[in-house]
Structure 1
Amino acid sequence: MISYCQVSAFTSTPGHGNAAGVVLDGASLSDTQMQGLAARLGVPETVFVVNVDERVARVRYFTPTQEIEFCGHATVALGLVLAQRGLWRDGMVLETLVGPIELDLEREAGAPHRVWMRQRPLEVRTLPSGWRSRLAGALGVSDRLVHRGLPMAVASTGLWSIFVPLLDAFVVDALEPNFAEIESISRELGVTGVHAYAPMSPDSFYTRDFSPLVGIPEDPVTGSSSGALVAMLASAGILPRRGGMARGLCRQGHALGTPGEVIVDIALDGDAVREVRVGGCAVVEHEGRL
């Protein structure tokens, strides 16, 4: 038997945000057992702690169909569980397949409130203009609804995604994606999925994420993609700045009835992104044994 928690991340409301499985005692599990547990839990991602040494925890992430290198919302979920179990250490670091991820804990009235993670440095690859029509078609809209004033690119702060800007939140909400085409595009460009976004205000964006290639037709609320999106927009000079800092808010999950919010803080040196911090709340839904 193995114990697990199911946690909703990027929300303080049970049933909202994005569900993640958290397994703290994964050291004795084989790859096959981890994959089987992730499939049985059936949530978008499950994080397994396979080793803990003082402030460093080595972790692995699995979707229901395969292992992935990193997952933002499962990281936030794990941070909350560690804090609630008294296992949190200041300066906590997760060893992941994309490298070390530093965590911080924000408390409110003495209780764990929000987990912050420092994501990997921003990387961006531009897309040729001819991709606009194909990506719009894969999302089920005309390319006339693609926002010309915002960047369309492939970017990563941990996982590679294609970012497609659309005119407004109503367009994003009405998307009817062709999952087979999105899977084909994702495989062709070596990315996890397609992340559609639209402006709601100068520093907030409405988003949806489609990742059928890794077994997640639509990811409710995505921390890794939110970090890359806000970092890319900050680097492009689109977000308001306060000194060398910029903050963006991503709202996601509304189309699935599971709304959540991701806060992203960016530290800049000129237009170069120096640091990406992604923060979110979380709530434990239930605990069990399999």
Structure 2
Amino acid sequence: MDEVAVVRVFVGPDGEGGNPLGVVTNGPTVPDARRGEVAARLGFSETVFVDDAPLGCVDIHTPSTRLPFAGHPLVGVSWLLRRQGHPVDVLRPPAGQVPTWEEGETTWIRGRAEWASGRRTEQFRTVAEVEALPAPPPGEGWLYAWAWEDEAAGRVRARGFPRRGDGIVEDEATGAAALTLTAGLGRSLVIRQGAASRILTRYHQDGTVALGGRVET
């Protein structure tokens, strides 16, 4: 039987929001051929299979595809592993080694922009325009719609639309798209996404971006 934990990743300051994540903690018992089926059955935007907890080896699936890297699954599984007695410093998804750490209530990972390819960002003039978008907007392919709430302070309003035909209409919080936006702008951000989620990012000159947020069960 699949052993599944559910956490909320990138929870907002008031304890609301956060993107639900399914974590299959007994990953080695789930064959590769079944993982897509399990992710589709669970119905989360992403599901993580933990293949080796002490080493941080993980495998990420959407309901329709396998991902080499994704932000909210890695932040969420890092938080969960620590609380299950496996305080890893590095996660190992297919994309490569991902450093991870905690600062107070915030769990962080650090990745490379090229790992988050395939997510198009589009700037809108106002927050109201972003909030008025239908879910999903017309078109195909991953869309991260955003506008400045306060450009000087680096505060952004965003919404994420996978548009991949697997039943996930809108992502409540999307780390990989936040990484893409941060890398493109070349600056650290505070992103308010979805209904009530918050994503923190730190831009680094070596081309990496750190993603951070609160995680709760």
Q: Same fold (TM over 0.5)?
A: yes
- Of 111, 120, 127, the residue aligned with 1:119 is 111
Aligned identity (percent) is 27
* Aligned counterpart, 1:275: 208
Please show how residues 1-290 of structure 1 align to structure 2 within 5 Å: 1-11=1-11, 16-52=17-53, 54=54, 56-89=55-88, 92-107=89-104, 113-120=105-112, 122=113, 156-176=114-134, 181-183=138-140, 186=141, 193-202=142-151, 203-213=154-164, 215=166, 216-234=168-186, 246-254=187-195, 259-268=196-205, 273-284=206-217
Equivalent-residue separation in structure 2 for 1:7 and 1:34 (angstroms)? 19
Contact kept in structure 1, 2:78 and 2:91, CA below 8 Å: no
User: Match for 2:139: what amino acid?
Assistant: I
Q: Structure 2 unaligned runs (5+)?
A: none
Equivalent-residue separation in structure 1 for 2:66 and 2:207 (angstroms)? 29
| Larger Cα-atom Rg | 1
Equivalent-residue separation in structure 1 for 2:157 and 2:98 (angstroms)? 26
CA RMSD, 1 decimal: 1.9
Equivalent-residue separation in structure 2 for 1:198 and 1:14 (angstroms)? 23
User: Match for 2:198: what amino acid?
Assistant: E
TM-score (norm 1): 0.68
Contact kept in structure 2, 1:157 and 1:225, CA below 8 Å: no
Equivalent-residue separation in structure 2 for 1:159 and 1:31 (angstroms)? 23
User: Match for 2:147: what amino acid?
Assistant: A
User: Match for 1:217: what amino acid?
Assistant: V
TM-score (norm 2): 0.90
Q: Tell me the CA shift for residue 197 of structure 1.
A: 0.6
User: Match for 1:194: what amino acid?
Assistant: L
Equivalent-residue separation in structure 1 for 2:3 and 2:136 (angstroms)? 37
Aligned residues: 213
Q: Structure 1 unaligned runs (5+)?
A: 108-112, 123-155, 187-192, 235-245, 285-290
Q: Tell me the CA shift for residue 9 of structure 1.
A: 0.3
Q: Tell me the CA shift for residue 59 of structure 1.
A: 1.1
Contact kept in structure 1, 2:36 and 2:65, CA below 8 Å: yes
Q: Tell me the CA shift for residue 214 of structure 1.
A: 6.1
